Amino acid sequence: MHSLDGITRPDQYRALGLSTFAFTVCFAVWTIFSIIGVRIKQELGLNDTEFGLLVATPVLTGSISRIFLGVWTEQFGGRIMFPLQMLITSVAVWLLATVHTYEIYLIAALGLGLAGGSFIVGIAYTSRWFEKERQGTALGIFGAGNVGAAVTNFAAPFLVVALGWRETAQVYSVVLAVTAVLFFVLAKTDPVQQERKKTGAKPVSAGDQLEPLKKMQVWRFAIYYFFVFGGFVALASFLPRYYVGAYGLPLTTAGVFAGLYSLPASVFRALGGWMSDKWGARAIMYLTFLVSLVLLFIMSYPETSYTVTGIHGPITFSFGLDATMFMVMTVILGFAMSLGKAAVYKHIPVYYPHHVGAVGGLVGMIGGLGGFFLPIGFGLLLDRTGVWTAPFMLLFVLVLVSTIWMHVAIRKMERARHPALAEEKFLSDVPDAPLRESRP
C-alpha cells in the first residue's frame, strides 16, 4: 500500500470531488446516443438492429480503451490522463455533428466512446488518495458519476427539441472541453506520482501491470460487472427507445422515465460502497442478483390474456405492466445494480493495490462490453421475435446464470481451500474480514 503521509482530508475530498464531477460529465457524453440516436434512427430509417449497433458502438471503444488507459494512468497519473482523454473525446463529439451517413456515424461513435474510458482513469486516480478502509466508500462516491446517464436522459431531450440534435452534440463537446481544462488546473498530482518524483523511481512496466490478469479471480469479478455495469449502460441507452415503442410515449417523457432508472442506478453506488465496507462485497452481490432476478422475471413477462374454463363459463383475465408500474420496477432494479457495481470495485484495490489500473481496466472492459453486446442483442431479439419484453428475458437468463455460477464456484473454491469450513454459509470475499467460527 502506498504512503499517505502528509495527505489531508481536504486533499482527499478535492481529488474525489473533481474526479467524480469529471466522470459525471464523461458519462453524460458516453450515453448521448440514447437520446440523439432516436432522432438519427428516424432520419435514416434504421431498424432496431442497426439502432442497437449505433447505440452500442461508443460502449465498445469505452470498454476496450479501459485496459490501456488504466495502465497509462498507473504510469503517468490521473492528473495528466484525465484531461487528455476528455480533450480528445470532445473533438470526436464535435465532429459527430458534421456527418450524415450511417457508416460515418459509427466511426464518429467510436471516437465518442473514449469518454467511457474515463472510469478507470478516475478509479486509479481516486484510489491513490484513500486508505484501504475507506476506499470502498470513496470509489462508490466516484462511481456515482454514472448519474451522467440520468443527466443526459433528463436534459438532452429538451436540448434536442430546443436546438436540434447536432447542436446538442456541440454543447456536450464544449462542456467536456471546459471540464478537462478545469480538472487540469484544479487537481493535484496523486501521492504515488509525488513519491516517484521525490525518489526518482520508475513507473511499473505495462507487463508487470498486466500480470494479475492471469488470475481466474480477476475474470470472476469481470463477469459480475458484465451485468451490473454492462446491463446498466445497455438499459440506459435502450429504455428511451423502449418507452417510445412499447408505450407510445413522446421522447421527452421517455427520457424522463429512463432518467428515473439511471438516477438510482448511479447515486446509490456510494451507498453500495459503504455497505461493502461494512458487510462484505459478496453479501451485496447476492443481494443485487436475487433482487434483479425477481424484477426481471416480472418485467420480461409480455402482456398476455388468458381464458380458462370455469364452473359457470369461460373466465378471461390478463397480465401486463403499464408504463408507470414498469418505470417503478426499473427504479428498484437500478438501485440494486448500483449496489452491485460498488461491490465489484470494492475488491480491486484491496486484492490488487498496486495493479488497480490494469485489473480495474480489465473488469471495466468486460463490463463495458456488456453495454456493447446487450443493446445489439436487444435489437436482434426485437427484430426476430416482435416481443417488446424479449430484451428483459435475455437479462433474466444472464443474471440467473451469473448467480448460479457465483454461488457454486465460490463454495467449491472455499471448500477445497478450507475443508473444515464445508458447512460454513457465511464466507467473506474481502481480506481481513473475519469468518464466522465453525459450530460444533
Give the count of domains, the chain. 1
Assess contact for 268 and 133: CB atoms under 8 A. Answer: no
Q: How confident is the model at residue 296 (pLDDT cuts 50, 70, 90)?
A: very high
> First CA to last CA across the chain, in angstroms?
38
More confident residue, 291 or 61: 291
More confident residue, 71 or 158: 158
> Can you give the pLDDT at residue 434?
45
Assess contact for 57 and 168: CB atoms under 8 A. Answer: no
Q: For residues 143 and 338, what is the distance between their CA atoms, to the nearest angstrom?
A: 9
Residue 315 backbone dihedrals phi, psi, to 5 degrees = -120, 125
Q: Look at residue 199 and tell me if it is in a domain.
A: no
The average pLDDT across 119-139 equals 81
pLDDT, tens only, 326-337: 999 999 999 999
Q: For residues 370 and 234, what is the distance between their CA atoms, to the nearest angstrom?
A: 7
Q: For residues 399 and 297, what is the distance between their CA atoms, to the nearest angstrom?
A: 10
Q: How confident is the model at residue 416 (pLDDT cuts 50, 70, 90)?
A: low
> Can you give the pLDDT at residue 156?
86
Q: How confident is the model at residue 82 (pLDDT cuts 50, 70, 90)?
A: very high
Residue the block writes with cell 476506499 = 135
> Can you give the pLDDT at residue 179?
95
Buried b (16+ CB within 10 A) or exposed e, 85-123: bbeebbebbbbbbeeeebeebbebbebbbbbbbbbbbbb
The average pLDDT across 412-417 equals 68
Residue 355, pLDDT above cutoff 90: no
Assess contact for 350 and 280: CB atoms under 8 A. Answer: no
- DSSP structure string for 160-217: HHHH-HHHHHHHHHHHHHHHHHHHHHH----HHHHHHHHHTPPPPPHHHHHGGGGSHH
Q: In the structure grid, which three cell numbers stand for residue 22, read together? A: 469529471
Q: For residues 204 and 75, what is the distance between their CA atoms, to the nearest angstrom?
A: 6
Q: How confident is the model at residue 210 (pLDDT cuts 50, 70, 90)?
A: low
Residue 180, pLDDT above cutoff 90: yes
Read off the pTM: 0.66
Residue 373 backbone dihedrals phi, psi, to 5 degrees = -75, -35
Residue 349, pLDDT above cutoff 60: yes
Which CATH number fits the domain that encloses residue 251? 1.20.1250.20
pLDDT, tens only, 394-407: 999 989 988 888 88
Q: Look at residue 285 and tell me if it is in a domain.
A: yes
Q: Look at residue 372 and tell me if it is in a domain.
A: yes
> Can you give the pLDDT at residue 336?
92
Min mean pLDDT across 72-76, 251-255, 284-288, 410-414 is at 410-414
- DSSP structure string for 88-120: HHHHHHHHHTT--SHHHHHHHHHHHGGGGGHHH
Q: Look at residue 427 and tell me if it is in a domain.
A: no
> Can you give the pLDDT at residue 113?
87
Q: For residues 344 and 11, what is the distance between their CA atoms, to the nearest angstrom?
A: 26
Residue 422, pLDDT above cutoff 60: no
> Can you give the pLDDT at residue 1?
47
Q: Look at residue 294 and tell me if it is in a domain.
A: yes
Residue 412, pLDDT above cutoff 80: no
pLDDT, tens only, 229-248: 888 888 887 888 889 888 88
The average pLDDT across 352-367 equals 72
Q: Look at residue 428 and tell me if it is in a domain.
A: no
Q: For residues 423 and 439, what is the distance between their CA atoms, to the nearest angstrom?
A: 9
Q: What's the mean per-residue pLDDT of the chain? A: 81
> Can you give the pLDDT at residue 439?
47
Cβ neighbourhood burial of 248 (10 Å; 0-12, 13-18, 19+):
exposed
Which residues make Cβ contacts (< 8 Å) with residue 178, sequence separation at least 6?
Answer: none
Task: Give the domain extent around 398.
Answer: 9-193+207-301+317-421
Assess contact for 132 and 353: CB atoms under 8 A. Answer: yes
Q: Look at residue 435 and tell me if it is in a domain.
A: no
> Can you give the pLDDT at residue 401?
87
Closest CA to 130 of 15, 269, 241, 271: 15
Q: Look at residue 295 and tell me if it is in a domain.
A: yes
Which residues make Cβ contacts (< 8 Å) with residue 384, sequence separation at least 6?
Answer: none
